[in-house]
Amino acid sequence: MTVLASKMALVTGASRGIGEGVARALDAAGARVILTGRAVADLERVAADLGNDPLVLPADLAPGGAGTRLAEAVLSATGGVDVLVNNAGMAIGGASEDLKEADLDLIVSVNFRSLLMLAVGLAPAMMERGGGSIINMSSVASVRGPVGRVAYSATKGAIDAMTRALAADWGPKGIRVNAINPGLIVTEMTEESLSANPGRVEELAARTALRRLGEPDDVAAVVVFLASDAAGYLTGETIVVDGGMVRTIAPRSSPSAAKPAG
């Protein structure tokens, strides 16, 4: 499948987890991928497997100005991209009444401010290329209220709102802007809490219509679709990719009783 042949794609948070899966899937679809994140060895590990002359541009998205600086680095290295996957993110948890302003500043910078400024910095060149596709990684935490995740879910709500506003602003210039709201995807971000609670994986799977947790490839496939011409009339959308966890009603019974028939 080379639906993205000759396309240039930037993936933030490409060093592991969902972003790694996205980088691999975009490369397999024919795109040349620019990988960014802080963990240089991991970025190079992923890039070593890619076939379309990948580029590694390390960046920390926490400091002020980081999104703008990364956009400038991408423009000077490549001239611009057709696809931007704004995937980098971090999570913090704990009782809302214990939230520290410094932690809020950090998560807003990484999950929202830098990603918006990166899009702002790259959009003019994208327009000059005739348009493109921006895919923002949100979360089901933006559509439901998760316990102990006020700052994280607020940044994801901001991602959803920014997606719709940028779609309105840049649609006339040929840029489509969409978001994906993953459910529980097994990555480093979720592994610690899953392994600390025996039986949690089975419990969550039982509350999911498709009876399993997600894998990075489940999200990456939707990214490739949104990046491709197949999604050419789709913009301003937030697409939940969660095996049906949010949109269906979980069974009341125990996990064992919730096993799929047959």
Ligand X SMILES: NC(=O)c1ccc[n+]([C@@H]2O[C@H](COP(=O)([O-])OP(=O)(O)OC[C@H]3O[C@@H](n4cnc5c(N)ncnc54)[C@H](OP(=O)(O)O)[C@@H]3O)[C@@H](O)[C@H]2O)c1
Active site residues: 152
Q: Cα dist. 165→61, 158, 242 in Å?
A: 22, 10, 24
Task: Determine the Cα–Cα distance for residues 188 and 47; give it in Å rounded to an integer.
Answer: 19
Q: Does 38 bind ligand X (CB under 6 A)?
A: yes
Instruction: Pick from 8, 18, 177, 224 the residue near ligand X by CB under 6 A.
Output: 18
**Are 94 and 140 contacting, i.e. CB atoms less than 8 angstroms apart?**
no
Q: Does 207 bind ligand X (CB under 6 A)?
A: no
- Which is nearer to ligand X, 60 or 203 (by Cβ)? 60
**Are 66 and 59 contacting, i.e. CB atoms less than 8 angstroms apart?**
yes
Q: Does 190 bind ligand X (CB under 6 A)?
A: yes
- Which is nearer to ligand X, 16 or 113 (by Cβ)? 16
Q: Does 15 bind ligand X (CB under 6 A)?
A: yes
Counting every residue, how long is the chain? Answer: 262
Instruction: Pick from 7, 8, 10, 19 the residue near ligand X by CB under 6 A.
Output: 19
Q: Does 139 bind ligand X (CB under 6 A)?
A: yes
- In whole angstroms, the minimum distance from the beta carbon of 101 to ligand X comes to 18
Q: Cα dist. 149→102, 107, 146, 233 in Å?
A: 15, 11, 6, 34
The backbone torsions φ and ψ at residue 182, rounded to the nearest 5 degrees and listed phi first, read -70, 150
Residues 62-101 that bind ligand X (CB under 6 A): 62, 87-90
- Which is nearer to ligand X, 157 or 171 (by Cβ)? 157
Q: Does 184 bind ligand X (CB under 6 A)?
A: yes
Axis-axis angle for helices 17-28, 40-48 (nearest 10) = 30
Query: What residues make contact with ligand X under the rule CB under 6 A?
Result: 13, 15-19, 37-39, 42, 60-62, 87-90, 110, 137, 139, 182, 184-185, 187-190
